[in-house]
Structure 1
């Protein structure tokens, strides 16, 4: 596409974001149009935004729901804009992002990109997946009171991946307290929405409301046999953490549904470690170790793919199976991935001494 004709808007909703407006602007300023839909800030958010030349509108959504606020923002974007980027105030675009639109083939309605959701203390990515918040100016609307999604209307959706990257730096001072009630509303409004049902069950789990979470996950699995297999697998994974007596069965079901995910195999291997079933622990950790390509979805944990957990489990189980040479080898690999971990270093000494005694 010709960047002389392609116009990009970046938009967001905001409430008391004075600490993040400048950062948001700096990452998005190459856009042809910037818009903040302010939802009632009583700090300096609006003043800072206007001083930077950002277009600001005021929206008043009562009772509150995210989709209506985002749709109000979207409606205020000029019609001559071609593509819109929904960029939250706790997110940034990595420099060079705009030129990536030049690579779009004709007909694309939904560019996809890499979204890094969480980082560790050293700034290394932990969770990343393919992002979905870039869309044509027309033919798209937001749906759901929370964990809102973009849906196309009157157009055949065509996706294409571009080398654009967006990073998420969550504001931990913000409460998630309203999410649960909004998720309950999502499910009530659309009981056929499998993802809303999954997210509600997960939210109950996060709130340690285990009985409600268990019932919601079981209902989700029963009601949506054709839902996305990865979320169905994670539903079993969550149930494994709620119903300890059925932990193994649930994890096996999860592994059968989604055998390409290390996270499931590692959790199953850890279950066998706790049971001191070393043969199964070794076998299951070996299955995890064979997986080397992390799927690009929001459920995965980069620490499981890049960290020492698999080698640690292989080392421990090898030792208890009487294979101390292998235990030492796996233990050294674990230390390479986590050189500051004192337990792992002590384990290597233990394996080495056990090997010398053979």
Structure 2
């Protein structure tokens, strides 16, 4: 079986050694450099990569990805698309070979998109950039995805393969907004890109434009995935809170929870709202709905805060202020176990311990 890694890059020499070491389990590595000035192509070649230098003008991620895919030899069995700021945990090749059986078009594997300041994992979901050599092309100017000939691809999960993202925090993402606007202009019925554009407007604090785009997403006939619809509703709530329209914000949070009651995130948003109102019974109602969900989704709609200490912290406060001291202690202990280096949570635990009735 021939496994080939391919990538695009620009000015990422700092990552070259680490990335090539991680990709060394592949048979070959092909890189499209789109205009580095820091010696990235030369260093990659020294480390054994096949490098082509070519400018992509105007810039589009799908065009660059397809050009890099074109570099992959025709006899490759499996193509592995990564970026230079990503690292596989060792041993990935053997597990991939076991999973790549006849008829499979694409493999999904665990992906850590970011890490918290204390080193714990942040957003984790399952990635899908391992695929067959022929009959697929990248589409969308940004947030590009693979489009397969012949209908829906046969996909298989690979347990034990883990890719980590360690990005350059100084790199600008300013190109994302105009590329997303272009993507929606090119394909206004693409519900995923409409959602992403609404989210990007939110990041830029362009509340009204975010509201309009997120409502447009929810109105699209193709926008049927409850998890992403819930995400749009949660963003709408945040837009309205930013505009000081708290009632409208709460209504969208309630709709979000109704849209995807199987997700922790909307319930925690509601618990946070009730916390700020000091509505402790409301906090307990919402946070216990969240904690009743014990299976973390494998999609990108899964936030680290929902699976860390935060829900237990909220529960401890809700129980404490409603006089349920035993339950408050249990929740505070769980929060402290999950965040042993968080001073506020450790202090809360001590206060709740001190408040327990004697004997």
Distance of 1:353 and 1:54 partners within structure 2: 61
Aligned to 1:191: 188
Aligned match for 2:16, one of 12, 15, 21:
21
In structure 2, the residue matched to 1:136 is 132
CA distance in 1, matches of 2:234, 2:311: 18
Cα distance change of structure 1 residues 225 and 72 upon mapping to structure 2, 3 Å threshold: closer
The answer to whether the 8 Å contact 1:8/1:84 transfers is: yes
Summarize deviations over 1:230-269 as a string: whole Å, max 9, x none. Answer: 1110111111111122222111111112112212111111
| Equivalence for 2:6 | 11
Partner of 1:145: 141
Does the alignment pair 1:276 with 2:287? no
CA RMSD in angstroms, aligned pairs only: 1.8
Q: What is the Cα deviation at residue 322 of structure 1?
A: 2.4
Q: Is the 8 A contact 1:59 1:72 kept in 2?
A: no
8 Å CA contact 1:281–1:317 kept in 2: the answer is yes
CA distance in 1, matches of 2:165, 2:356: 46
Is contact 1:139–1:155 with CA below 8 Å preserved after alignment? no
2:236 equivalent in structure 1: 239
Corresponding residue for 2:116?
120
Counterpart Cα distance in 2 of 1:343 and 1:58: 51
Given the two structures, how large is their TM-score scaled by the length of structure 2?
0.93
The match for 2:207 among 210, 216, 223 is: 210
Contact 2:191 2:222 in 1 (8 A): no
CA separation in 1, counterparts of 2:345 and 2:4? 49
Structure 1 gap segments, 5+ residues each: 1-5
In the alignment, which residue of structure 1 is the partner of 2:69?
A: 74
For structure 2, list consecutive stretches of 5 or more residues without a partner in the other structure. Answer: none
What are the superposed Cα offsets for residues 256-287 of structure 1, whole Å, 9 maximum, x if unpaired?
12112212111111111112222221111111
Equivalenced residue count is 352
Q: Supply the distance in 1 between the matched residues of 2:90 and 2:343 (Cα, whole angstroms).
A: 39
Per-residue deviation, 1:100: 1.7
**Residue in structure 1 matched with residue 170 of structure 2 by the alignment:** 173
Deviation, 1:346, is 3.2
Task: Give yes or no for contact 1:59–1:69 (8 Å, CA) kept in 2.
Answer: no
From the superposition, tell whether residues 99 and 176 of structure 1 become closer, same or farther in structure 2 (CA, over 3 Å). Answer: same
CA 235–212 in structure 1, closer or farther in 2 if over 3 Å, else same: same
Deviations along 1:63-105, whole A, 9 cap, x unmatched? 1111001111111211111110001011112211111232122
Higher mean Cα deviation, 22-31 or 316-325? 316-325
Deviation of 1:123 after TM superposition, in Å, equals 3.0
